[in-house]
Each structure stands twice: as structure tokens, then as C-alpha cells.
Amino acid sequence: MLRQVAEGVLVHQSEFIQSNAVVVHGAGVLLVDPGVQGHEMACLADDLSSSGQTVAAGFSTHPHWDHVLWHAELGAALRYGTARCAASVRDQLSEPNAKADIAEHLAETEIAGQVPMDLFGLITALPAGTARVPWNGPDARIIEHQAHAPGHAALFIKERGILVAGDMLSDVLIPMLDLNGAADPIDDYLTALRLLESVADDTDVVIPGHGSVGGPGEVRTRIDRDQAYVLALRAGDVPDDPRVGPSAKPGWEWVTDVHNGQLHRLASG
């Protein structure tokens, strides 16, 4: 079910790790990171149709599998991503077993068999340096950075006071660094947080890729928390962070394992 979080901006949250799909009304809608399970995306399409809306454009914040999905009932609008995001997805799809590997990864989860892969990864690359999503609606500024994944982008919709943060600024997930492809993942992440901080004064609502939507003032709290976590990682310290350790939210204890893995990888060089 869609929930309004600001004028003309609605969120549908998946059952799977609180994944947030974002709908922005304009001439049609801009649909950001549309969801995970097929029945949820079909429900979203039905909700839009029932309200007389069609998808005018899609946007994927980054190239991880759960952010480049689509459903036929959402229509054939172009689904944009940054040039680096689209290139990363193309690289994934060049592997003959890419979709099968994702299905295997999901086989032991509660959503096994529920993720539609037919339209996976069909991302239209925006020219490098594109500043805004090309659509007929509220100005959606692209804030590209290299934290978490290649070509990751947040969208800042100043007219609505909205920051769509992608897989950053979550209240349940710690900063997850790109430890496989980035030359300096710590610096990449801190740089990205500074970019997001530059729009904090004009942000009333922050929407993370996973977790709870944050209201007025919450964006700075989340930036500060993520920065403290990343700095603790760099120093090899145990972070004072409610998302890891005994204070972790029930059902999210696995995030502590992610943290321990990051700490180990960074310590081992």
C-alpha cells in the first residue's frame, strides 16, 4: 500500500528488508527503485492505475539486484540510472549465469521464487554528469557518488523537501562499503555523506532504500550517525551504534555480521 510522506510523494515498503519504492507525482509518476517481490510491484501498478496514474519514468539508485527490478504491469517507461550504474549492470548481465546466481542467492530466503527477473537490469544510462532526471515533473536533482556501489545516486527533490537516499541513511542498515571495487571505500563514503549534507537544510523527509522514512531533522541525525560509524571503522574501533551489537533491532541481528565482515576486510587490507 502506498503511503504519502510529502505532497505528491508516496512510498511503498516491501516486506523484504523494509525496501522502499518511491513514487513522485508529475505528468505521470517517477518511480524510484520499484520493489522486490512480483506481487508487490503488481499491487503498486494496480494502485497507480486505480488513481489514474501511469509511470512516466523509472530510476534506479544503484546497480545492486534489488534496485534494478521491474514488472511488466508497470509499463514500458525508460528506467534511468547513472552511466556508471548502467555500466555495472551491463557487466553483471554479461555473465551468462547472472540471473541464476541471484535466484540461487535468494533460494534460502523467505522470498525465494517471488522475484521477477525477466525485466531485470534494463537500465538506460544517462550521460555522465547528468544533473537531473529527464522527466516532466518536479525537479529531481541527481547526487552521484561512489559510496556503497558504482554510480550510486541519491535524488533531491527540493520542491517537495525530499531526499531519496538509495542505500544510505538507514535506521536499520549500517553503511555498507564497496569493498570489492573501490580504491578507497572509506573516503568514498565520507565524500558521499558530505554531498548529502549539502542539501540537509532543505530536506524535510529522507527516504532510505531500506528502513524507516525519516521526518524533519532526521537527515542530519542519520548523516552524523553514519559518519561516526565510518570513522570508527577507519580507526578499527568498535562503533557506538544502535544498529549493531546487542542493541540491534530484532530480526536485524545479521547486520552485526556485516559489520564484523567489514571490520575484518579493512583490517586485513
The predicted pLDDT at position 109 comes to: 87
Tens-of-pLDDT digits for all 269 residues of the chain? 899 999 999 999 998 999 999 999 999 999 999 989 999 999 999 999 999 999 999 999 999 999 999 999 999 999 999 999 999 999 999 999 999 899 898 888 889 889 999 999 999 999 999 999 999 999 999 999 999 999 999 999 999 999 999 999 999 999 999 998 888 999 999 999 999 999 999 999 999 999 999 999 999 999 999 999 999 999 988 888 999 989 888 999 999 999 999 999 998 86
Instruction: Say how far apart CA 247 and CA 71 lie, in whole Å.
Output: 37
The predicted pLDDT at position 182 comes to: 87
Instruction: Say how far apart CA 227 and CA 222 lie, in whole Å.
Output: 8
> Which helix (H) or strand (E) covers residue 155, if one does?
strand 152-157
Fold of 1-126: Metallo-beta-lactamase; Chain A (3.60.15)
The predicted pLDDT at position 168 comes to: 98
The predicted pLDDT at position 10 comes to: 97
| DSSP state, residue 12 | E
The predicted pLDDT at position 88 comes to: 97
**CA–CA–CA angle 31, 34, 36 (5° rounding):** 180
- The C-alpha cell 550510486 sits at 152
> Which helix (H) or strand (E) covers residue 84, if one does?
helix 83-93
For 39, 170, 229, 269, the CA distances from 235, given in Å and listed in that order, are 44, 22, 10, 13
Indicate the domain borders of the chain.
Answer: 1-126, 147-269
Q: Which pairing describes strands 9-13 and 3-6: parallel, antiparallel, or unpaired?
A: antiparallel
